[in-house]
Amino acid sequence: MFSRWLEKPLADKLVSPFVQMIFGARQTGKSTLLQKLTLNAAIWLDFSDPRQRSEFLRDPGLLVGQCRALPLSEEPLTVVVDEAQAVPGIFDAVQHLYDSDKQRWRFILCGSSVRKLRQASANLLPGRTILHHLYPLTVAERPLPESNGPTHTVESPLPFSIKDSVSRNSLFPASDLMDRMTYGELPAVAVAKPEYRQDILKAYSLVYLEEELRREALIKDWSAFSRFLALAASESGRAINFAKIAKDAGVSQPTVKNYYQLLEDMFIAFRVPAFSRSRRKNLLSTDRFFFFDLGVRHAAAELPIEPAAVAGNPGPVFEQWVGIELWKRLRYLGGRLHYFRTKGGAEVDFIIERPGALTPVEVKWTERPTPRDARHLLSFLAEHPESKLGFIICRCARPLQLHDRVLALPWFCL
């Protein structure tokens, strides 16, 4: 069983007298992680099973009777509800049970979308829950092949790290950078044989997304959404141009905005807002939009999922990979991710915002970074004295000091 960063924090929280809610896209490993942590669950409901889903949609109160029928125990009994968003009424049943006895049961609710919950005005148990998210694999959960140079023993000088919380003895299979940029970081893809990875990703894009959207009746015109999905995936990593996407997809701008929100609600995508705390008056303010995983992005964009295709223009893909890695890290540890760009062309790829600190990050597809690569970082650092150090993430073999305030880092130091 492979180790996940969330494993220890979640195990520590499971003993607390609160309802645990875990959200994340399909295939990020939520069910597998819970099975590892709750081997002796008294009740496990899986609403991806049509029979269970139909049964509880008719009567969510069945959970109350099932829980009360469990024998009394000295230790709280664990009750897991997977894909809980498929039966919004189950949240009311959990609240009733929790409020009646906070010590008898421990509830864990797992979901891959918040759209249906929001539309149904579902009870999200305010004041009773601890919320968690699970994302695709991080660098810390998947080592670099020994034949490719240093491994994760390299200490990262970035102002946040998750490596100490991942067991060194149960990491996912080693993977080099091109492999990660081609196939992404979904656990099921990471452990699959190379010849099966492309099929898994295509199925994820074509089967899972369609199944999920049709089941929740979220899309009326599937062909229009399919055109939008391919366009949005192709534009991943760029500032959103609603007018262009709407024109090319043949739908209205409000529809495009709704589609983008739908992908976010399903944890398939996220936004990186523009950094606005600057004295400059000509800043761009449009959000950048990223798919949560590069393998899924390639499949959704109907691009060839093979290293040769990525190698044809690796720079933009590498920038997306770094952005996704930073986003996952900040979602786990707290903080915000921004980008900085002016209409005149000055830009910094990412700004990491943590309590009391701003850290600018540039991404360069190079093995030999130079001081010239640091010019935009130095400009940002001069304007923001609270920023102590800037970083260039690249393919250099080891950390390299380019300036008193700029350090170039190998990608595997993230």
Boundaries of CATH 3.40.50.300 in the chain?
7-133
**Mean pLDDT confidence for 340-361:** 87
**Mean pLDDT confidence for 340-353:** 86
Query: Is residue 42 over pLDDT 90?
Result: yes
Percent pLDDT > 90 in the chain is: 63
- Res. 161 pLDDT band, cuts 50 70 90: low
Query: Is residue 364 over pLDDT 80?
Result: yes
Query: Is residue 380 over pLDDT 70?
Result: yes
Q: What average pLDDT is seen over the chain? A: 88
Percent pLDDT > 70 in the chain is: 88
The pLDDT of residue 247 is 95
The pLDDT of residue 305 is 95
Asked if 115 contacts 262 with a C-beta cutoff of 8 angstroms, the reply is yes
DSSP 160-223: ---GGGS-TTSPPPP--HHHHHHH---HHHHTS-HHHHHHHHHHIIIIIHHHHHHHTT--S-HH
pTM, whole model, 2 decimals?
Answer: 0.92
The pLDDT of residue 219 is 75
**Mean pLDDT confidence for 24-47:** 92
- Res. 346 pLDDT band, cuts 50 70 90: confident
Query: Is residue 121 over pLDDT 60?
Result: no
**Mean pLDDT confidence for 170-187:** 93
Phi, psi of 181 (to 5 degrees): -70, -25
Q: Which secondary structure element, helix H or strand E, spans residue 78, and what is its range?
A: strand 77-82
The pLDDT of residue 272 is 96
Retrieve residue 116's tokens: 């249906």
The pLDDT of residue 276 is 81
Asked if 296 contacts 268 with a C-beta cutoff of 8 angstroms, the reply is yes
The pLDDT of residue 2 is 86
> Among 53-67, 198-212, 275-289, 301-315, whose mean pLDDT is lowest?
275-289
- Res. 15 pLDDT band, cuts 50 70 90: confident
- Res. 383 pLDDT band, cuts 50 70 90: confident
The pLDDT of residue 122 is 58
Query: Is residue 165 over pLDDT 90?
Result: no
The pLDDT of residue 151 is 45
Strand partners, 161: none
**Mean pLDDT confidence for 156-176:** 73
The pLDDT of residue 208 is 72
The pLDDT of residue 152 is 45
Identity of the amino acid at 408: A
- Res. 234 pLDDT band, cuts 50 70 90: very high
CATH number of 7-133: 3.40.50.300
C-alpha to C-alpha distances, 149 to 177, 386, 398, nearest whole angstrom: 12, 34, 10
356 by DSSP, 3-state: which? coil
Q: Please tell me what DSSP assigns to residue 350.
A: E
The pLDDT of residue 39 is 83
254 by DSSP, 3-state: which? helix
C-alpha span between 291 and 263 (Å, rounded)? 9
Listed in sequence order, the residues at least 6 apart from 414 whose beta carbon sits closer than 8 Å to its beta carbon are: 139, 156, 158, 322, 325, 326, 329, 393
- Beta strand ranges found along 245-354 (DSSP E): 269-272, 288-291, 336-341, 347-354
- Res. 153 pLDDT band, cuts 50 70 90: very low
Listed in sequence order, the residues at least 6 apart from 39 whose beta carbon sits closer than 8 Å to its beta carbon are: none
Query: Is residue 188 over pLDDT 80?
Result: yes
